[in-house]
Structure 1
Amino acid sequence: MLKGIPSILSPQLLKVLCEMGHSDRIVISDGNFPAEEMGKNAIVIRCDGHGVPEILDAILQLFPLDPYVEKPVNLMEVVPGDPVETPIWDTYKEIVAKYDDRGANCVGNIERFAFYDQARTAYAIIATSEKALYANIMLQKGVVVE
């Protein structure tokens, strides 16, 4: 155990967050996301029993978002015609706003298959048990400035 580190972040996840460099991306996936398939060239970290919001909040306490891109946070866009509501996105935007001055303005949407393509090139994918649909989120790492 360490002081000041959210206990939900496992040693493996902390190691990965530390290893990531500027512009590397990490996906926090919902329970329906094909994490193992998408993560064939990435590190896949299982966080079963947890949802995306608590993982996102813990990560953003330590993880700077990329200030050099307009949308360092991206959500998987709902497929047109799919009658799905996404209230979890508002939760994500509130969490992001706690840690980045751009707030919801730095959150974008990526078409479903384009999201999959980008996920295949992510440094890591965190597989959660999140039950909300379209609850996948991708973060692009910035630089630590002290």
Structure 2
Amino acid sequence: MPRYMMIMRATAAAEAAAADIDFDEVIEQMGRYNEELINAGVLFAGEGLTDPAEGFVVDFDSDPPTVTDGPYPDPAAIFHGFWIIEVDSTDEAKAWARKVPVGPGVRIEVRRVSETSEFPLDNPWVRKEIQWKVELAEKLADKARAEAERFLAPRG
């Protein structure tokens, strides 16, 4: 089944408008949307990102590459979070992207994620990547269990 990455981008005007919205309301709206993705069985991954001021850009136009701390001069280059969904078709990915609870000035860029099967499976690096994915999935599962235990444990 194809996977699609939905990348959230917002203009400066959209960010300014969002500053007037209660953060708990934003979390609730996104939580409901994420729960809908989970209940439909299509959410593969997703994360929100911190403020661009905490990030940096590595530009390979020079040697050695130049590192520029955020915030970035080009607001169009900033993205705020992403989801990876696993759906049957591009049309289904479009339908989910249209449902993201955001307002004017926000764009959701959607791109299909390449599948391992699109590469030559006899290539040693492709085979290594398959093994790395298995190992990463195990690590992520262990980390998620530990995080759930820490946050969901009864407080006393």
Instruction: Give the TM-score taking structure 2 as reference length.
Output: 0.26
Higher helix share: 2
Which structure is higher in RCO with an 8 Å CA cutoff and minimum separation 6? Answer: 1
Larger Rg: 2
